[in-house]
Amino acid sequence: MSVIPAVVNRFFHQTASPPYFYALAERLAPWLTGVFLLLLAAGLYGGLYLAPSDYQQGESYRIIYIHVPAAWMSLFVYVLMAVMAGIALVWRMKLAEVMLIASAPIGAGFTFIALVTGSLWGKPMWGAWWVWDARLTFELILLFQYLGIVSLYGAIEDRRAAARAVSILALVGVVNVPVIHYSVEWWSTLHQGPTITKLDKPSIHVSMLIPLLLMAVAFKFYYLIAVLQNARLELLKREATSQWVKNLLEKTA
């Protein structure tokens, strides 16, 4: 019975090793890219061509296949960053710091896409590009949090000190995630309530739901691809004087 914990412990120790992680990320990249492209093609085809028009919104509702997955990912990535921040502060794990920093610009990108597509969707629905709706406002604050983490990390020369600073900032800012999620329930808001995560059943037809879920999974695979590439670059910067990086550069020279 002690074999399984030992194997798991060994796996995590190996994965936390910078050279092992760098090589693993390189091997995974083509497979993750292939799955992402398949999911993206299936989700877009289902959402743009197979799904029927909405009886109220017509064709304009199809922007949900970008807007909703991007909004989900804006929260998902920040929660992951908060987890990495906790690990980095408690166990001083270098790879956790790297993954935290690598995730921030990607999360900012997802949040920006969610805000822009939400604005495009809001114009025909609400008659305005922007309203100071509770969810929109706190989502905008989330974008500033991402940008703040990126800026703070870049402003401190000592990488370990910078990582500790942004870890604290990420943990403090995670309180905004449940506020965004429950804002439509806590306040009177123009933003529609939950349609997929309702406990009884989703308020969306299955022909519209399946492409949406495919796009959501595709966005997660994109995040994996992007964060691994960002993490590899960050590792190279941090480990520039390490022997494994010198050996790597000699092989590629």
pLDDT string in tens for the chain (253-residue length):
455 565 445 655 667 789 999 999 999 999 999 999 999 999 999 999 999 988 778 788 899 999 999 999 999 999 999 999 999 999 999 999 999 999 999 999 999 999 999 999 888 877 888 888 888 999 999 999 999 999 999 999 999 999 999 999 999 999 999 999 888 777 666 566 565 554 455 568 889 999 999 999 999 999 999 999 999 999 999 998 899 998 888 887 6
> Does residue 12 lie within any of the structural domains?
no
Identify the CA nearest to 39 among candidates 222, 209, 195: 222
> Does residue 82 lie within any of the structural domains?
yes
Predicted local confidence at residue 186, as pLDDT? 73
> Does residue 96 lie within any of the structural domains?
yes
Predicted local confidence at residue 190, as pLDDT? 58
Predicted local confidence at residue 45, as pLDDT? 97
> Does residue 228 lie within any of the structural domains?
yes
Spatial contact of 231 and 21, defined as CB atoms under 8 Å apart: yes
5, 7, 12, 200 from 1: Cα distances, Å: 8, 11, 18, 40
Give how many domains the chain has, as a whole number.
1
> Does residue 6 lie within any of the structural domains?
no
User: Which amino acid appears at position 48 of this protein?
Assistant: L
> Does residue 16 lie within any of the structural domains?
no
Spatial contact of 212 and 44, defined as CB atoms under 8 Å apart: no
Q: Give all strands (DSSP E) within the chain, no chain letters.
A: none
Give me the residues paired with residue 58 across strands: 54
Report d(CA 246, CA 249) in Å as an integer.
Answer: 5
- Looking at residue 52, the DSSP 8-state letter turns out to be P
Predicted local confidence at residue 30, as pLDDT? 97
> Does residue 46 lie within any of the structural domains?
no
Host domain of residue 216: 53-252
> Does residue 208 lie within any of the structural domains?
yes
Q: Is 58 helix (H, G, I), strand (E, B) or coil?
A: strand
